[in-house]
Amino acid sequence: MGQPTGFMEYKRELVSDRPESERIKDWQEFHRRLSEEQLRTQGARCMNCGIPYCNSGVLMNGGASGCPVNNLIPEWNDLVYRGLWQDALDRLLKTNNFPEFTGRVCPAPCEGACTVGLVGDPVTIKTIEQEIIDRGFDEGWMAPSPPRVRTGKKVAVVGSGPSGLACAAQLNSVGHSVTVFERADRIGGLLMYGIPNMKLDKNVVKRRVDLMAAEGVKFVTNTEVGKDYPANRLLEEFDAVVLCGGATKGRDLPIEGREAKGIHLAMEFLRANTKSLLDSNHADENFINAKGKNVIVIGGGDTGTDCVGTSIRHGCKSITQFEILDKPPLGRAPGNPWPQFPRVYKLDYGQEEAEALWGQDPRQYLIQSKRFVSDETGRVTGIETVQIEWKKDDSGRMTPVEVPGTEKFWEADLVLLAMGFLGPEDQLLSQLGVDRDARSNVKAEYGNFETSVKGVFAAGDMRRGQSLVVWAINEGRAAARECDRYLMGETQLP
């Protein structure tokens, strides 16, 4: 512990963002970087407490408390404080394959469980994490490190999102020959096409994929296993298979008028936008354009925020975001104590940009959509809604109850449905014949990860349901460990 009183002497300092008026004109990342002096000062705020709740990674009250990949946070905070960046990188990579991803898109449950947060503002863990790995790439420390010996075992990883990449990296590190299958034209899954470029620059993803390829991982794109590549062939050609396809079946809104043109699932909108951006800088116009339109986003989570930020960059006329839940409190509620993840009100980047343009947060709370309205050509023109209250039903469950007299019509030329995901798609799983749980996810016990089909494992959102990138990395690493044990009879993987 470099400075025992650092948490009392120094204030929390966050990375400043580029001004909203500037950043909405391009698709570049909007976060700036702190100076080395600032970062070392922030590292000094870490208490190195006896029980580091920040790296606990447990589920508490429906959310993560602490880091799900159990990052050795106090250790690398201290090393950064002392200016030992390469040592800090070594510590960070012991637990997290991709800190450049989590440092950018993770909601930082580690900070919610930081002990300093009991008496003040938590340590800026996420910012320090990203800087350690970015510096590692900048300084050339992130060189390819292929395994010295190959085992002769072949493993197929289906899906190249965070769980698939983490699994592939771990299995390759112990000498297995790993092939990653991806149905899209670029590797990365959710990281590539689910998260907009201004939040996660795709060069950051490509940089990591190129490093993994140099270490011996084989990537196969434009190949949907179960369609272009039959499942039985997968079982015949590989010694083991790990399913990391994600929970990609989007939640729809089957209310009256849903067939109207101009209503899209959020991922249709986000995926097409990023692909067109990367292919042609939008010159090909192969995307759903929000320019000049009144846009309504239904869903208040991260995906909804990404729809808001993307629509603003297109040049939408207006933006409104519907949230069926109540507005969170400004501080922790009595039922949400430390070290639980803090469920408090905040402005994410998309809402900040909307507020800068139109003077208010675009979110409307406790609102339920009742009917889509369209014109004579079948194109959506608006949504009829009603306000709701959450009340307990006879069984004690909280259910939405409509408030009489609160009906309202909202003008809309484009509606984006960002209400989460229902589970994995069916074709491959049906071909393999793996058991499914009650939520349609692949049935595989956490800690073991093997499905009902021998030699076939599952990890990430495909197994646990929609979750955080950091949980996907956790599961990809753990599934790799169990897959290695299955292949070799024992394992050295953490």
Cβ atoms of 212 and 167 closer than 8 Å: no
User: Could you tell me the pTM of the whole model?
Assistant: 0.96
| CA-derived radius of gyration, the chain | 23
Give residue 303's identity as a one-letter amino acid code: T
143 within some domain: no
Residue 416's Cβ-side half-sphere holds a number of Cα atoms within 13 Å equal to 31
CATH code (residue 134): 1.10.1060.10
408 plus 270 within the same structural domain: yes
128-173, pLDDT tens digit by residue? 999 999 999 999 999 999 999 999 999 999 999 999 999 999 999 9
* Pick from 352, 292, 351, 349: nearest CA to 318: 292
Last residue of a domain, one of 358, 393, 419: 419
Cβ atoms of 467 and 421 closer than 8 Å: no
268 plus 409 within the same structural domain: yes
228 plus 177 within the same structural domain: yes
352-393, pLDDT tens digit by residue? 999 999 999 999 999 999 999 999 999 999 999 999 999 999
Overall residue count recorded for the chain in this entry:
494
- Structural domain of residue 350, as residue ranges? 252-419
282 plus 367 within the same structural domain: yes
252-311, pLDDT tens digit by residue? 999 999 999 999 999 999 999 999 999 999 999 999 999 999 999 999 999 999 999 999
* Pick from 338, 340, 339, 292: nearest CA to 314: 292
Return the bridge partners of 265, or none: 417
CATH code (residue 191): 3.50.50.60
Which residue do the tokens 């050295």 mark? 492
Distance (Å, whole) CA 485 – CA 448:
10
Residue 52's Cβ-side half-sphere holds a number of Cα atoms within 13 Å equal to 19
